[in-house]
Amino acid sequence: MNVTIEIEAPDSPDGRALVSELDAVLNPLYAPENRHGYDIARLMRPGVEFLVARVDGAAAGCGAVHHLPATGSDVAYGEVKRMFVRPAFRGLGLGRRILDRLVDRVRQSGVGVVRLETGVHQHEAIGLYESAGFREIPPFGSYPGADVSRCYELKLEGGTGPDA
């Protein structure tokens, strides 16, 4: 099994298909105001990196990281977005590999904090994040304190900033 995880264009056919499949999973579970996934246009903005995992050349999963600068009230951080592994490829450790690659992208940028928001119904994702060292935090950024959201943070060794 040959696995690659590379930065790709989110508006490619595979990128669009992966984002669409993830939306099809999430849309029935959460009201529109509680869905915070980036659409293709937002994934293409500066500061966002979209990665596609491939198994023997087939698009198997994706993830993105949005690099956000420090503001007056917050440190710089990378926010994980659009994590998804197609059902046929689950159980191969791809979610962990994608997450590790996204965390590495943040670390390489010199930032010491990775954050994310996920839904309470994403039990496998929550397990992945917690096993990777993410700790639950209060809502951050523009996320409301909705009862269907969970926010997480991972502090990186070797990052910069007061919280690293």
Question: Which pLDDT tens digit goes with each residue over 8-31?
Answer: 999 999 999 999 999 999 999 999
Regions of the chain with pLDDT less than 70: 158-164
How high is the pLDDT of residue 157? 81
59 phi/psi in degrees, rounded to 5? -65, 120
pLDDT tens-place string over residues 58-82: 999 999 999 999 988 889 999 999 9
How high is the pLDDT of residue 162? 41
Closest CA to 37 of 20, 54, 49: 20
Residue ranges of the alpha helices (H) in the chain?
Answer: 13-26, 40-43, 94-108, 123-131
List the CATH code of the domain at 3-155. Answer: 3.40.630.30
How high is the pLDDT of residue 115? 98
If 0-12 CB within 10 Å is exposed, 13-18 middle and 19+ buried, where does residue 98 land?
buried
Whole-angstrom distance, CA of residue 69 vs CA of residue 82: 20
CA distances from 39 to 13, 44, 97 (A): 14, 9, 23
Q: What is the CA radius of gyration of the chain?
A: 15
Instruction: Bin 56: left if φ > 0, else alpha if -120 < ψ < 50, else beta.
Output: left
Q: Where are the domains of the chain?
A: 3-155
Question: In the numeric block, which tokens belong to residue 86?
Answer: 């197609």
> Listing from the earlier edge strand, what are the strands of the sheet with 135-137?
3-7, 48-55, 58-68, 77-85, 113-119, 149-155, 135-137
